[in-house]
Chains A and B, each alone.
Chain A
Amino acid sequence: MDVILFLIFAVIAVVCGINVVVQSHPISSAISLIGVMGSLAVLYLLLGAEFLAAAQVIVYAGAIMVLFVFVIMLLNAGSETRRGRSFMAQLLGVPLLIAFLGLMAFFVQRLFPGAADVHFGAFRGGTALAVGRALFTQFLLPFEVVSVLILIAILGAVVLARKELE
């Protein structure tokens, strides 16, 4: 059952990922990216990270991607036009990527022979309680720093996007 669920959502994630890169209109890429994030949220649930799965949907798919979709709708710039690409890039591009991928997969298989299988429900330390406890005791300083980072980002976005005061 775990294998079936993993395979279904991994295939959805990869197909949507390919779609993000291949589609010509940015809105289709954005919708596919939402699909990737949704299937990744399910995979996080299978790995026992329930709080992170909910945070992924609320923050990533429900807020960041809405921001992307907004900007694409506001700018309304249309599909990307194909210009001349260098022949060398087209010839070597996809095979090199597949070779890169195969290399990484090989190293992953080689370096982690003793890894345990993933069973749904085997790791119970991903609850909101555990994450909250670690976040506010062991990782308190990074938490505060990240809060200041968000404040800076809000100020930056407001300053960049406001109308010019002539």
Chain B
Amino acid sequence: MMTGVPLSWYLILSAVLFTLGVAGFVFRRNIITVFMSIELMLNAVNLSFITFSYQLKQVNGHIFSFFVMVVAAAEAAVGLAIILTVFKNRSTLNIDDVSSMKN
């Protein structure tokens, strides 16, 4: 009844979510979905921080995770404002179409 969960399972879950985030970032073409894959990667890293905080019995991991959340919030706000501006100028959300500087 009191068997715990091995710590490596949490780390493997974090690795799985991070890999899914990388896959979304590389393979999807809608700019908002790419952004959401970045958020998925950040969440995976948060899980990893908190897992190590449990292992080392310190609260520092929680603090780093808190800062990651704050930075993600700031990044989401500015990033979405940029996406709105891109949509206003190009009328498309497909990152392959925003390529007027490519030769």
A interface list, Cβ under 8 A from B: 1-3, 6, 10, 13-14, 17-18, 20-21, 26, 29-30, 33, 36-37, 40, 43-44, 46-49, 51-52, 55-56, 59-60, 63-64, 67-68, 71-72, 74-75, 77, 80-81, 83, 89, 93, 97, 100-101, 104-105, 108-109, 112, 115-119, 122-123, 125-126, 130-131, 134-135, 138-139, 142, 146, 149-150, 152-154, 156-157, 160-161
Contacts and interface: CB of A to CB of B under 8 A. Distances in A.
**Majority-rule SS of A interface residues:** helix
Contact of A68 (B10, B23, B76, B87): B76
B70 A150 contact: yes
Contacts of B62: 49, 51-52, 126, 130-131, 134
A100 B7 contact: no
A60 B53 contact: no
Contacts of A109: 8
Contacts of B40: 17, 20, 33, 36
A108 B12 contact: yes
Nearest to B25: A21
A125 to B, nearest CB: 5
B82 interface: yes
A135 B66 CA distance: 10
B36 A156 contact: no
Interface of B: 1-13, 15-17, 19-24, 27-30, 32-33, 35-37, 39-40, 43, 46-47, 50-51, 53-55, 57-60, 62-63, 65-67, 69-78, 80-85, 87, 92-94, 96
B77 A153 contact: yes
A80 B80 contact: no
A76 B88 CA distance: 12
A101 B16 contact: yes
Contact of B57 (A51, A55, A123): A123
A47 B4 contact: no
